[in-house]
Amino acid sequence: MWRVMGLVFFGDRLHFVDEKARTFRLDALRAFLLQKGIALYDTATAVRRLKDNASDKYLEITARTDIAAMLRCRPTLQALVTTGQKATDTLLETLAAFAPTIAPPVVGGYVGFGFEGRSLRFYRMPSTSRAYPLALDKKASCYAAMFRELGMR
């Protein structure tokens, strides 16, 4: 994720990377997210791993995030974004409670939906995981287009 953000906003995939410490520069990330108005949260508040690996395929969602409550607390929020199939499926299930006709967006695209008089967008972006078989520059291009559409870039 942070290599994509570095490419999109700074033209440098290592912008948020501390190469010497082999980690990300958290202070720079926090400042960037605050400055851009980007919030990050999971689509689930409780999960169970069915196998001892990082694959979402073996992830059981035991409690979904209360998206409606989150949207009420964030009146300036313009869009919800998912970066993987499990998150997309979970969000679609959650949105069905107040946007029952919402269709899944294509990867790199969005669908509009309404929430309590607000018009919002739901973007389905490519996973930023190294395991996702798409070149980093192509992932960054998708994200750059989304941020342009949202007036954030």
Encoded tokens for 39: 């919030």
Ordered by start, the domain boundaries in the chain are 1-37, 66-149
Taking the C-alpha atoms of residue 122 and residue 54, their distance in angstroms, rounded to an integer, is 25
| Rounded (5°) CA angle 23-146-16 | 15
- For residues 118 and 124, is the Cβ–Cβ distance under 8 A? no
> Topology of 66-149 in CATH?
2,3-Dihydroxybiphenyl 1,2-Dioxygenase; domain 1 (3.10.180)
- For residues 6 and 13, is the Cβ–Cβ distance under 8 A? yes
Taking the C-alpha atoms of residue 9 and residue 152, their distance in angstroms, rounded to an integer, is 10
Taking the C-alpha atoms of residue 94 and residue 10, their distance in angstroms, rounded to an integer, is 34
Q: What is the pLDDT of residue 55?
A: 73
Reported pTM? 0.90
Taking the C-alpha atoms of residue 26 and residue 35, their distance in angstroms, rounded to an integer, is 14
**What are the pLDDT tens digits along the chain (153 aa)?**
999 999 999 999 999 999 999 999 999 999 999 999 999 999 999 999 888 877 777 888 999 999 999 999 999 999 999 998 899 999 999 999 899 889 899 999 999 999 999 999 999 999 888 878 889 999 999 999 999 999 998
Encoded tokens for 138: 């192509």
